[in-house]
Amino acid sequence: MALKIEMLRAFCTVAQTGNLSEAANRLGRTQSAVSMTLKQMEDHLGKKLFEGERKNQLSPLGEQVFDLAQKQVRQFDQTVQSIEMAAEAIHGLIRIVSVPSVAALVFPPVLEHMTARYPGLKVELRDTDTQQVLDALAEGKADIGIASGYHPLNGVKAVPLFEDRFGLVCSAGHPLFQQDSPPSIADVTGAGFVRNALCDLIRNERFVEASSGADVTIHNTHSLITMVRTGKWVTVLPQTVARFMPETTAFRPIADLPDRREVYLYQRDRSRFAALSEECCAFIRACDLFSGLSNGLPG
């Protein structure tokens, strides 16, 4: 018997809750039905997914299956949601995915402009990292994408949107922000420095070498800013992030770090509502969201 998505969902729910009763309640099924589903999975695989009968500890195989199954269930649910939205979108549908630092600036005015112009328009907005932006475009799960850097994709055109400088992000009361002269790379990386995914875009050899020994890496921007606000940690981020940071947090250029992040606007060549997608991209390019930054990168 082939594995089915609902079998994976049942397994993931049991693994998350640690007991059959709670999992059955969440799934809206009987406990015996969930137990039978797990047995069918284990019979198909020929190995146990849980240690013992209590279902509160995964086997080594169970841990691997759980990681893979979670991703598949999440992807399946997102696909179903997109299909249902597309079916209901008699007035049109636009799906935009963006890196978080730009999404915070772009999503509100885009949503206001497009829904005012087209009442009844369905809009799907999602913020995630650059790789997942590119994956969504390549897999046809997004019509428009905003990502850091230029990445050629078949069937997707990319135009430069803006570039912003990397700099120190710290609490407003931190000594590196209060001092008269701009801090150096050595100052920043020697003062409770926390790496983040965007640091990988920096090619400056001095920074790469100095930051490689960082003890802490945080990928979630919100968690990163929360750490920085304590005054005990600092990080390096593009200037755009400073637009939505709390007042107690500050951005400052780094004297010997001239590197800039390039941000591109991606648009699928073929989408169900191509005219709406084109107008939305034109609005993003035209609106004054990135003043103070450098627009018009070379293609």
The residues facing 294 across adjacent strands are: 163
Per CATH, the architecture of 90-162+261-286 is what?
3-Layer(aba) Sandwich (3.40)
Distance CA 99, CA 59 (A): 36
- Domain 5-84 matching CATH 1.10.10.10: the answer reads yes
Percent of the chain with pLDDT over 70: 94
Least Cα distance to 99 among 208, 244, 217 occurs for: 244
**Rounded Cα distance, 193 and 233, in Å:** 6
Residue 279's pLDDT is 92
165-260 has the same fold as 90-162+261-286: yes
What are the tens digits of pLDDT across the range 214-240? 889 998 878 888 899 999 999 999 998
The answer to whether residue 297 scores a pLDDT higher than 50 is no
Whole-angstrom distance, CA of residue 221 vs CA of residue 242: 12
End-to-end CA distance of the chain: give it in Å, rounded: 52
Of 211, 243, 248, 242, the closest CA to residue 226 belongs to: 248
Tell which CATH classification among 3.40.190.10, 3.30.110.40, 3.90.230.10, 3.40.50.150 matches the domain 165-260: 3.40.190.10
How far apart (Å, rounded) are the C-alpha atoms in residues 210 and 256?
13
Given its phi and psi angles, is residue 92 left (phi above 0), alpha (psi -120 to 50 degrees) or beta?
Answer: left
Supply φ then ψ for residue 56, to 5 degrees: -110, 5
Q: Could you read off the pLDDT of 168-201 as tens digits, one per residue?
A: 999 999 999 999 999 999 999 987 999 998 899 9
The pLDDT value recorded for residue 295 is 42
Average pLDDT, the chain: 88
Give 198: exposed, middle or buried? Use CB within 10 Å, 0-12, 13-18, 19+: buried
How remote is the C-alpha of 11 from its chain's centroid? Answer: 26
Which whole number is the average pLDDT over 270-284? 89
By C-alpha distance, which of 176, 150, 181, 186 is closest to 234?
Answer: 176
In tens, the pLDDT along 6-15 reads 989 999 998 8
Q: CA-to-CA distance for 148 and 130, rounded, in angstroms?
A: 6
C-beta of residue 205 within 8 angstroms of C-beta of residue 257: no
For the chain, domain boundaries: 5-84, 90-162+261-286, 165-260
> Does the reported pTM lie above 0.75?
no
| CB burial of residue 92 (10 Å; 0-12, 13-18, 19+) | middle
Residues 6+ positions from 180 with CB-CB distance below 8 Å = none
